Structure 1
Amino acid sequence: MTTDATVLAATRAERAALADDLADLTDAQWATPSLCGRWTVEDTVAHLTAAASVGPWRWVRSVLGARFDFDLHNDRRLAEHRGATPAETLARFRAIIGSTTSTWGPKQAWLGEVVVHGEDVRRPLGLVRTPPVEVTTEVARFVASRDFTVAGKTMSAGLRLVATDGPFTAGEGPEVTGPTLALVMAMAGRAAHLDALDGPGVATLRERLA
């Protein structure tokens, strides 16, 4: 993925795939805890809607209004974009599938957000989707290169990451191998995906995620 246009197209495709996967959930499934700590599936989807609805200056005002409490900032924006029912929450998410609104930062961050949060809600629900390898590779390279929204660079420091299903490699040190999506999720702080990884560096990741 060499252009913003291709990254944005992939972002739209991943949003659409997630919306389709969630179309037939029961109310109980919408209330399932996600991999995002205290957020449910519905909360996480509302957060994705908020992320694609708040531009840079409104984001600044929101953060200032929360006195730099980013949890409070996220909770306020999540509540704003959560519907009265799960069906309304999903409809609001579908409405931003093609959105190009976001705060500052590389377009890869938008793609990474929907890939990571998509897995955050699918895995607890038993839904399986592996995005195209070029998508997960783009996200893995981005996440490993910096601490931006998630501490991917810090999490993977001193380790050699090697994807078994694509071309992604990064770093030097004890090796961690596995599917690109599992590497992304581990770098994003999700311990649930460690079981899909192998190599002597997995113990280090497990300690960092403990």
Structure 2
Amino acid sequence: MNKRATGLWQTVHAERRRLAEDLAVLREEQWRTASLCPGWDVHDVLAHLVDTARTGRLDFVRSMLRARFDFDRANERGILREKRASPLETLAALEAASGLTRTPPANLATRLVEAVVHGEDIRRPLGLVGDYPPEAVAQAISYQLRTPVSFGGGRERAAGLRLIDRSTGTGWGAGDDVVADGVDLLLAVSGRPVAPERLTGPGAPALTGTPSRP
């Protein structure tokens, strides 16, 4: 494994453990909180993270074959497979899988996208604050901007826009400016709802899908 891949996996493993720590104190009813993923609650997203952590290349191919190449169906089956009767048992499964380096046949940057975006899918509805390495967020944004929406990316959403991370000054693309914290840019590009006030600049309405103010 090269140095870049090693560093990426170290970040992913750390984020899995950090999320597990954040969720260890949840009350029973909080596990049923709706996540940012439509139709999934917090426990569902946690089970999905266990499934993706445990799924290697051959496992992914087999799951897609069984789901007749329906990605959403494969994800739902993965949740059913890994969702324990008790959320704490599912949480223990994530902790046990946190150090795994399994991945589907895809760019390793997808592991960063999963760690950050799904981390926020869970944390934001619960009022928890995530703290992600800026370089990991930047790498995840770059990957999402190269990847079509049909493959889970956000290339079309950011077309004609220049995204600028207000914390680091890093920019991507060309067009109307959208200025925000890197995590908010990543979420918006990934199709997650982001409060309009968290993004500024003339291109912000186009990225968040909100009308421009007169």
* Band the TM-score falls in, shorter-chain normalisation: over 0.9
Q: TM-score, normalised by structure 1?
A: 0.93
Task: Report SS of the residue matched to 1:4.
Answer: helix
Provide the aligned C-alpha RMSD in A.
1.7
Partner of 1:180: 182
Q: Please state how far the C-alpha of 1:182 moved relative to its aligned partner.
A: 0.3
CA distance in 2: counterparts of 1:87 and 1:197, whole angstroms: 35
Give the C-alpha shift of residue 192 in structure 1.
2.6
> What residue identity is the alignment partner of 2:82?
H
User: For each residue in 1:93-112, what CA deviation from the matched residue of structure 2 results, as whole angstroms up to 9, or x when unmatched?
Assistant: 11111010110112111011
Q: Name the CA distance, whole Å, in 1 between partners of 2:49 and 2:148.
A: 19
Residue 3, structure 1, aligned to residue 1, structure 2: no
Which residues of 2 match residues 45-64 of structure 1 at below 5 A?
45-64=46-65
| CA offset digits 1:2-28 (Å, max 9, x no partner) | 711111111111111101000010111
For the 8 Å contact 2:143–2:153, the answer to whether it is kept is: no
Match of 2:14 in 1: 13
Q: 2:163 aligns with which of 157, 161, 164?
A: 161
Alignment of 1:119-158 (within 5 A): 119-147=120-148, 149-158=151-160
Alpha-carbon separation, structure 1, partners of 2:9 and 2:109: 8
Normalising to structure 2: TM-score of the pair? 0.92
Task: Name the amino acid aligned to 2:51.
Answer: A
The residue type paired with residue 107 of structure 1 is L
Task: Name whichever of 89-98 and 184-193 sits farther off.
Answer: 184-193
Q: CA deviation at 1:55?
A: 1.4
- Verify the 8 A CA contact 1:182 1:194 in the aligned structure 2: no
Q: Percent identity of the aligned residues?
A: 38
* 161-170 or 115-124: bigger deviation: 161-170
In the alignment of these two chains, the number of paired residues is: 208
1:71 to 2:87 alignment:
no
Is the Cα–Cα contact under 8 Å of residues 161 and 170 in structure 1 kept in the other structure? yes
Q: 2:59 matched to 1:96?
A: no
Unaligned ranges ≥5, structure 1? none
Partners of 1:195 and 1:137 in 2: CA distance: 21
Q: 1:206 to 1:4 in 2, by over 3 A?
A: same
Q: How far apart are 1:167 and its partner, in Å? A: 4.1
Amino acid at match of 1:24: V
The CA deviation at 1:56 is 1.5
Q: Deviations over 1:61-99 (max 9, x none)?
A: 211211222221111111111111011010011111101
Q: How does 1:107-122 map to 2 (within 5 A)?
A: 107-122=108-123
Q: Is the alpha carbon distance of 1:85 and 1:59 closer, same or farther for their aligned partners in structure 2, counting shifts above 3 Å?
A: same
Instruction: Determine helix, strand or coil for the equivalent of 1:127.
Output: coil
